[in-house]
Amino acid sequence: MKSEGWQWFEAGETDEPNAEVAEQPSLAITFARCFSTPEGKRVLQHLRAWTLERTLGPAASDAHLRYLEGQRQLVAHMLMLTAQGTLRS
């Protein structure tokens, strides 16, 4: 069955934490262990600088802004899981 427009995307969109992540506390702990090393902290700092602390300027296209926002969402999710795992471990 083929969905029309963006309905397939909006149906799963929510402000609530991802239920799958909530059911798997070990995933957050795994992220914390991975990124608690000096190398892991360096990787997170690079990702944060490349996405969350980056600005594009007024000439950026809509597509480029959307692309960067997707990257920001991924990095923010990784940071959230790492923080949750640090609290649980």
Residue 68 has pLDDT above 70, yes or no: yes
What is residue 39's predicted lDDT score, i.e. its pLDDT? 97
pLDDT tens for each residue of 36-58: 999 999 999 999 999 999 999 99
Residue 88 pLDDT level (bands cut at 50, 70, 90) = confident
Mean pLDDT of the chain: 85
Distances from the Cα of 10 to the Cα of 14, 21, 82, angstroms: 8, 19, 27
